[in-house]
Amino acid sequence: MRQTLLANFLLWTGLAAGYAVGLDQSPEQRSVEGVKLRLPAPSQDGLHFVIDGRPDYFAGSNSYWIPFLKSNADVDMVMKHLKQSGLKVLRVWGFNDVNEVPTDGRVWFHHIENGQSTINVGPDGLQRLDYVVRSAEAHGVKLIVNFVNNWSDYGGIAAYNTAFGGNATTWYTDKASQTSYRDYIKAVISRYRGSPTIFAWELANEPRCRGCDTSVIYNWAKSTSEFIKSLEPTRMVCIGDEGMGLNTQSDGSYPFTYYEGVDFEKNIQIPTIDFGTLHLYPSQWSEQDSWGNLWIEAHGAACVKAGKPCLLEEYGSLAHAPSEAPWQQTALKTKGIAGDTFWQYGDQLSTGPSPNDGYTIYRGTANYTILVTDHVKAIKHARRH
């Protein structure tokens, strides 16, 4: 999803309060090393995901903003609420790229400027992501961690292009950009290698290469996933794409085409890609919300053919529950779809409501009851039958 509320986000995160990893931890949080010894890392088995040793369909959500919070208490509260709600997986931004180092106390992870890169491992840098991982471990929540954004929010590919030259299509083959990108990937993976909390490493958020031959993203995804597997062979890896480029059950509409340089069916065949991802925003693609059921079923069929599970990784409608609940029902009954994570989770933080891009589902609302509470119950019911 492309965020457009960065300015609003900066207002409510607050710019005060330093932080040091390891301070103010609860006994439960300090037992993380023990948790690591007891629980296996998430994995895939055929068309299913395996979490804590059990193959099962799961429900989850997205929170791009949680690694940028400066309040440990807010992070812990969100993780507690996710656990209480039965949401097992949270997808987060593992990137925050800047071309100039902020002077206002904002969190940033990766400074890229004038052909040089600096990774911020300080209290306003990756130590914030450290705390998210630590809190997730303590609360039994798994994380999908993404390494770069196709969009300019929080830097992304545009920040690399500013530092090294190039554009949105040349980035995938630009040597300097890819070297910096891989250095950053290595730095992040080295911090959490072996953690049972990392569900998967994700190459990018919604990678596109408009007008490119599909071999560009295919070759980039293949080589990058191979690189990640060389760092952590047993960890799942996914692309993070929207699922575009699909012949299976295609109705010829824009998302099924190869216009954005993506070939879902070819990419999921990459040996070092463990599962497929698909995103669903019909209104952004000039489609009716009901069209989303076809999109889900088509990807399920493609994943069955590939012998790998699919994750409905982002989905949202401005109508919320009336449109999204049917998608959840379709996903749950479609072979090949092994889980879903709605866009996006909302909660009341110490600074006010978490960001709302129009798709946010806030805890405690009627939409949350339908899309989370009722959905989790439906998953449990399906498990028993």
In the residue annotation, 226 being an active-site residue is answered as: no
Count of the separate structural domains present in the chain: 1
205-231, pLDDT tens digit by residue? 999 999 999 999 999 999 999 999 999
Return the percentage of the chain with pLDDT > 90, whole number: 88
- The answer to whether residue 130 sits within a structural domain is yes
pTM of the model: 0.91
Banded model confidence at residue 178, pLDDT cuts 50, 70, 90: very high
Q: What is the dihedral of CA 225, 305, 279, 243, to 10 degrees?
A: 60
CA distance 170 to 166: 6
Range of the domain at 205: 24-384
Mapped onto helix, strand or coil, the DSSP state of residue 51 is: strand
In the residue annotation, 313 being an active-site residue is answered as: no
Banded model confidence at residue 202, pLDDT cuts 50, 70, 90: very high
Residue 133, pLDDT above cutoff 60: yes
Q: Check which CATH number belongs to the domain holding 287 and give it.
A: 3.20.20.80
250 Cβ partners below 8 Å, 6+ apart? 256, 298
Given the residues 202, 232, 313, 314, select the one marked as catalytic: 314
Pairing of strands 198-202, 142-146: parallel
Pairing of strands 43-45, 310-315: unpaired
DSSP tally for the chain: helices H, then strands E: 13, 18
Query: Among 277, 160, 167, 178, which Cα is nearest to 219's?
Result: 178
In the chain the first and final C-alpha atoms are separated, in Å, by: 34
Are 129 and 94 in contact, with CB atoms under 8 Å apart? Answer: yes
Q: What is the dihedral of CA 232, 263, 241, 363, to 10 degrees?
A: -120
Return the percentage of the chain with pLDDT > 70, whole number: 90
Are 127 and 21 in contact, with CB atoms under 8 Å apart? Answer: yes
Residues 57-61 have a mean pLDDT of 98
347-374, pLDDT tens digit by residue? 999 999 999 999 999 999 999 999 999 9
CA distance 231 to 228: 5
Specify the DSSP element, H or E, that contains 190.
Answer: helix 175-192
Residue 285, pLDDT above cutoff 70: yes
Handedness of CA 6, 68, 43, 51 (dihedral sign): negative
pLDDT for the residue numbered 1 = 67
Given the residues 137, 202, 206, 297, select the one marked as catalytic: 206
- The answer to whether residue 334 sits within a structural domain is yes
Cis check: omega of the bond before 127, within 30 degrees of 0? no
- E strands, the chain, are 43-45, 48-51, 54-55, 58-62, 89-93, 97-98, 110-113, 116-119, 142-146, 198-202, 237-238, 276-280, 310-315, 337-342, 345-346, 348-349, 352-353, 361-362
Range of weakest confidence among 37-46, 59-68, 178-187, 237-246: 37-46
- The answer to whether residue 2 sits within a structural domain is no
- The answer to whether residue 358 sits within a structural domain is yes
315-341, pLDDT tens digit by residue? 999 999 999 999 999 999 999 999 999
CA distance 179 to 115: 11
pLDDT for the residue numbered 2 = 57
- The answer to whether residue 13 sits within a structural domain is no
- The answer to whether residue 226 sits within a structural domain is yes
Residue 126, pLDDT above cutoff 60: yes
CA distance 142 to 140: 7
Banded model confidence at residue 38, pLDDT cuts 50, 70, 90: low
- The answer to whether residue 77 sits within a structural domain is yes
- The answer to whether residue 326 sits within a structural domain is yes
| Side-chain-facing half-sphere of 345: CA atoms under 13 Å | 30
DSSP H helices, 14-155, are: 27-30, 32-38, 72-85, 126-139
Residues 251-280 have a mean pLDDT of 98
pLDDT for the residue numbered 188 = 99
292-306, pLDDT tens digit by residue? 999 999 999 999 999
